[in-house]
A and B are shown apart, each in its own frame.
Chain A
Amino acid sequence: MNEQKRAVSYLESASGILSWLGTSDHKRVALLYLFAASLWFLIATLLGFSLRLELMFPGKQLMTAQTYNAVFTLHGVIMIFLFLIPAIPAIFGNFIMPLQIGAKDVFFPRLNLFAWYLYMAGGLFALLSLFFDGPPDTGWTFYVPFSIMTQTNVVLTTTAAFILGFSSILTGLNFITTIHRLRTEKMGWLQIPLFTWSIYATSWVQVLATPIIGITLLLVILERVFGIGLFDPSKGGDPILYQHLFWMYSHPAVYIIILPAMGVISEIIPVAARKSIFGYKAIVGSSLGIAFAGSLVWAHHMYTSGMSDMAVLVFSFLTFIVAVPSAIKVFNWVATLYKGSIVMGPPFLLSLYFIFLFSIGGLTGLVLGAASTNIHVHDTQFVVAHFHFVMFGGTAFAFIAAVYFWFPKMFGRLYDFKNAYRGSTLLFIGFCIHYFPMFILGLQGMPRRYFDYVPRFATGNFIAGIGGMTMMIGIFLIVYNLWRGLRHGERAPQNPWGGVTLEWMLPSPPPTENFESAPEVKAYPYDFEEGKKL
């Protein structure tokens, strides 16, 4: 094809701020999400870092206890609702998923943009809650009865989460419809790339679980405004029911967060190993299995809240079941690397970090899932460490891996690899120094969410603080490096990593219409045979 006939890229097809704010191109919507979510990530990271600094020494350092409560609440709310849940689906699901299935756009392009506006509105409400009547101090879980009694501004923050949930539902139903209806005709279900499969499984959880948190938070708002009494023990309401409803969504939500991350890793590993993924069908099945089984384990957050022993037993058992599909994925990734001709790259390094950290996060999850050990470490720093191993070590590392992997496709430019390695490694080392001591602190009995602690916890918290600082340096190096790549990076080739899924068959950056004619689909999505001949 001659150069002049090649379609202009989606970045150059139109200019001006309105061409972005009114776009219905899935790739542009993805970039809108990318910049907004990255900003939220940095804000929430700084909030988290300030908590770490506060805890570095016993006693008060930076902030009062009340501010500390507000900061950990906002750190959680922003990280979970504004970064972790939307990040990979809304950014890479939006950008890459339609490309991987040979579609020209998502099925409901304008609804897609509308969901972004809802996302921004939710963020705005979360920000506003900072400035009226004091930010909420309930923690991101908004447990009643405290959340209906505290004088701080819970209503604005729960409204924010409600709006963000609505946005998440719309994105989910859009993606399911897209994958069903817009797949290129030659692509059967078992020819769909694994990232798209993980987005598909995630979308179902988004559609089916999110309404529960919607109604629950709505009831908290109604409780505060009208005093209806449904969760108020003084009026006969049952706070434990609130916890059930809250976790019915919020546990599946961690699978909304981790499934797309696993999808990213499943894409990067075979490309880096130049080898077909081991157990394609097992990975597909485990994605769907996690989505299903993950919806049945919510009450393992509540072993100490007051439940029958039978319920504890059942939920403990189900929690162990859900570990199986996660482990299947880890074994498949490692088996893919076995005898592969591995080519190192920043996305692959991040994927290795992911496997290491996620495995530890997953295994410590079993310590928490087993009722007997849970009683001892419940609500301690151990939980916080486990959670961050899965959410940060898992999803945020996979997010950075995804940025490194698809950045050349999205922007048509490369970033500096050396700085990418340095930044990621600093982040990884900092992460280990930060969170391993927290496991020990938790086992020693240091509770979570406490502003101050007894002197015997001082060493662990000090070391964790050093880790936090290292992480911050890593994060800023990563962000700086990507920003530089965006401005001055080398032009990226069409297929920098030698990938075989459909997004690599397009120019970097892709044209607005993606595919001019229906693309050729391989019989098997991870067939590297052609590459070997070259």
Chain B
Amino acid sequence: MISEQHEHHLPYDPEGSRLGMWLFLFSELLLFGGLFILYASYLTKYTADFVIAGKELSRTIGAINTIILLVSSYFVAASITAIRRNAPRIAMLYVGSAITLGLVFLINKYFEWGHKFHLGIYPRGPALEDRTNGEVIFYGLYYCVTGLHGLHVIIGGTLLAFALYYIYRKKITAERFVFLENAGLYWHLVDLIWIFVFPLFYLVV
């Protein structure tokens, strides 16, 4: 849907492609919306347990990851300006930087998860079994939300990688750059969701 190279009888219509992408983003937001509803109900029910469990998450890594995603979003926005000004090499540099930052985010996440696994804090894990119900739920939500978000980082990064390739092959140009715009929109969604995930799990509790 992002790349749909139209059949020859349909005209090139970037506005329509963007509309399709926005609709898809709505559906993505609602996908996470279901998890946020669960979070809201369980936070009300198990406030004290959520506070205990939330304090165990590393705010430093969370904050670093937030900055990483925000900066990568800036790079994506800058790449669109660059391609508009017909500077494909600079655009490629920006997109490449955004992908790299996405990878750094995932590496941080890997170590964060890995540390928790090492401590035995995971569903059916030895350390989590003795905890209160609220803490089990907190970590259940934590793994679901950050896991699903991580999956979206991977999808977004893949889209950006395709955009990079298309700029290189001159399929994305100053006249036709809707693929880059849509990949960028998706990346901003990934960023936006994290902007909610970070305070909910690392700061609020």
A residues bordering B, Cβ < 8 Å?
24, 104-105, 107-111, 169-170, 172-174, 176-177, 180-182, 207-212, 214-216, 219, 222, 226-230, 235-238, 241, 244-245, 248, 513
Nearest chain A residue, comparing its CB with the CB of B137 = A236
**Cβ of B31 and Cβ of A214 under 8 Å apart?**
yes
**Cβ of B34 and Cβ of A236 under 8 Å apart?**
no
Given contacts A215-B35, A245-B37, contact A181 B15 (CB under 8 A): yes
Bound form: Cα–Cα A107–B144 in Å: 34
Q: Give 5 pairs: A residue, B residue, CB < 8 Å, sorted on A.
A: A107-B20, A173-B1, A211-B34, A227-B124, A235-B137
Contact of A107 among B16, B24, B33 (CB under 8 A): B16
**Cβ of A241 and Cβ of B1 under 8 Å apart?**
no
Q: What is the 8 Å Cβ interface bit string for chain B, positions 31-48, against chain A (1 contact, 0 not)? A: 111110110011001100
Given contacts A24-B7, A226-B124, contact A208 B134 (CB under 8 A): no
**B-side contacts of A216, CB under 8 Å:** 34
**Cβ of B9 and Cβ of A176 under 8 Å apart?**
no
**A-side contacts of B124, CB under 8 Å:** 226-227
**Cβ of B31 and Cβ of A215 under 8 Å apart?**
yes
Q: Closest CB of chain B to A104's CB: distance in Å?
A: 5
**A-side contacts of B30, CB under 8 Å:** 208-209, 211-212
**B-side contacts of A172, CB under 8 Å:** 23
Bound form: Cα–Cα A245–B34 in Å: 7
What bracket does the count of chain B residues touching chain A fall in? 35 or more
Bound form: Cα–Cα A230–B46 in Å: 13
Nearest chain B residue, comparing its CB with the CB of A109 = B7
**A-side contacts of B20, CB under 8 Å:** 107-108, 111, 173-174, 177
**A-side contacts of B27, CB under 8 Å:** 169, 173, 207-208, 210-211
Contact of B140 among A207, A209, A230 (CB under 8 A): A230
**B-side contacts of A222, CB under 8 Å:** 144
**A-side contacts of B46, CB under 8 Å:** 236
Given contacts A107-B10, A214-B31, contact A237 B137 (CB under 8 A): yes
Nearest chain B residue, comparing its CB with the CB of A212 = B34
B residues bordering A, Cβ < 8 Å?
1, 4, 6-7, 9-10, 13, 15-16, 19-20, 23-24, 26-35, 37-38, 41-42, 45-46, 123-124, 132-134, 136-137, 140-141, 143-144
Task: Count contacts between A and B, CB distance < 8 Å.
Answer: 120
Bound form: Cα–Cα A208–B33 in Å: 11
**B-side contacts of A215, CB under 8 Å:** 31-35
**Cβ of B16 and Cβ of A180 under 8 Å apart?**
yes
Given contacts A108-B20, A207-B26, A212-B34, contact A230 B10 (CB under 8 A): no
**Cβ of B4 and Cβ of A111 under 8 Å apart?**
yes
**B-side contacts of A24, CB under 8 Å:** 7
Bound form: Cα–Cα A332–B30 in Å: 35
**B-side contacts of A170, CB under 8 Å:** 1
**B-side contacts of A210, CB under 8 Å:** 27
Contact of A228 among B6, B28, B41, B123 (CB under 8 A): B123
Given contacts A208-B26, A215-B34, A228-B143, contact A108 B1 (CB under 8 A): yes
**Cβ of A238 and Cβ of B41 under 8 Å apart?**
yes
Bound form: Cα–Cα A177–B14 in Å: 12
Given A173-B23, A212-B33, 7 other A-B contacts at CB below 8 A? Answer: A105-B10, A108-B4, A170-B1, A172-B23, A174-B1, A181-B19, A182-B16
Bound form: Cα–Cα A209–B1 in Å: 20
Contact of A211 among B28, B41, B141 (CB under 8 A): B28
Q: Closest CB of chain B to A189's CB: distance in Å?
A: 16
Bound form: Cα–Cα A241–B6 in Å: 43
**Cβ of A104 and Cβ of B10 under 8 Å apart?**
yes
Given contacts A207-B27, A236-B133, contact A105 B9 (CB under 8 A): yes
